[in-house]
């Protein structure tokens, strides 16, 4: 009986160790992968990039960009203004008429003086994975700059690499927001999920017709 209990304890410890490694392993891989791929705007070589991909981050109750999203938009505008890339690709959640991240993002870019034809909207960027998959499959991006907060960049860059994209991440952290611990914990779990998703590379929630970045961003407009 004692040997049986000892054997069960060993099996339990082994299972717990395996689960621990499965949880931390993907995080370690993504963090190491991103180390040389996260640059400040000053470090960035403004080379032949196809677009600046700005990832969605929620809205205020009045439909304007959340503070975190506003940081991302502002960095995207800054990079465009420096000549880092000729197009902005605003990718976010527009799954409901009353939740429209991408038009709020484009409106901010237009208010900053960026021509409408240079601002594309991905209305079906429901997740980081979907946004990156669609950046290549729908918009034809091959080399892109990804703009989001630092905690989010390792996962985005890893997904981009697994999809065959050449990408550099540009962080846009100007402050620390309330609830960051919760976001950090959620990101740990999201990295595990996307690590295994990148093994199989399923299609995103929606695909659709090609809208090449070499054309006009007005092709993505959905308002009169």
pLDDT per position as a tens digit, 101-144: 999 999 999 999 999 999 999 999 999 999 999 999 999 999 99
Q: Looking at the domain assignment, is residue 39 inside a domain? A: yes
The helix (run of H) or strand (run of E) holding residue 89 is strand 88-91
- Give whichever of 3-7, 91-95, 123-127 has the largest mean pLDDT: 123-127
pLDDT over threshold 60, residue 91? yes
- State the total domains in the chain: 1
Kindly give, in sequence order, each residue whose CB lies less than 8 Å from that of residue 131, ignoring residues fewer than 6 positions away. 53, 55, 56, 91, 92, 122, 125
What is the reported pLDDT for 17? 46
pLDDT over threshold 80, residue 15? no
- d(Cα 123, Cα 125) in Å, to the nearest integer? 6
Torsional sign, CA 99, 187, 157, 146:
positive
Q: How crowded is residue 181: how many other Cβ atoms within 10 Å of its Cβ?
A: 8
- d(Cα 64, Cα 59) in Å, to the nearest integer? 6
For residue 131, which phi and psi values (nearest 5 degrees)?
-60, -45
What is the reported pLDDT for 45? 79
Q: How crowded is residue 7: how many other Cβ atoms within 10 Å of its Cβ?
A: 10
pTM, rounded to two decimals: 0.89
Q: Looking at the domain assignment, is residue 19 inside a domain? A: no
In whole numbers, what is the pLDDT of the chain averaged over residues? 89
CATH of the domain at 157: 3.40.50.620
At 204, the pLDDT band (50, 70, 90 cuts) reads very high
Strand-pairing partners, residue 194, are none
Q: Looking at the domain assignment, is residue 105 inside a domain? A: yes
Which of 21-30, 55-64, 191-200 has the least mean pLDDT? 21-30
What is the reported pLDDT for 142? 97
Structure-token pair, residue 181: 């611990």
At 179, the pLDDT band (50, 70, 90 cuts) reads confident
What is the reported pLDDT for 171? 96
- Rounded average pLDDT over 66-94: 96
Structural domain range at position 79: 30-207
The total number of residues shown for the chain amounts to 224
């Amino acid at each position: 009986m004692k040997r049986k209990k000892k054997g069960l304890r060993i099996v339990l410890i082994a299972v717990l160790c395996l689960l621990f490694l499965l949880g931390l392993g993907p995080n370690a891989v993504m963090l190491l992968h991103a180390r040389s791929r996260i640059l400040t705007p000053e470090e960035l070589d403004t080379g032949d990039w196809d677009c600046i991909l700005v990832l969605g981050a929620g809205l205020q109750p009045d439909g304007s960009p959340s503070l975190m999203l506003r940081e991302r938009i502002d960095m995207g505008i800054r990079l465009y203004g420096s000549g880092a890339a000729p197009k902005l690709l605003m990718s976010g959640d527009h799954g409901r008429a009353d939740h429209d991240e991408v038009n709020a993002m484009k409106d901010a870019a237009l208010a900053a003086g960026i021509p409408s034809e240079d601002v594309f909207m991905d209305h079906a960027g429901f997740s980081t994975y979907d946004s990156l998959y669609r950046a290549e499959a729908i918009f034809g991006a091959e080399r892109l700059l990804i703009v989001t907060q630092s905690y989010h960049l390792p996962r985005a860059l890893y997904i981009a690499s697994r999809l065959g994209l050449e990408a550099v991440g540009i962080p846009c952290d100007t402050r620390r927001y309330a609830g960051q611990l919760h976001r950090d914990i959620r990101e740990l779990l999201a990295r595990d999920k996307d690590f295994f998703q990148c093994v199989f590379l399923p299609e995103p929630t929606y695909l659709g017709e090609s809208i090449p970045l070499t054309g006009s961003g007005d092709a993505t407009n959905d308002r009169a």
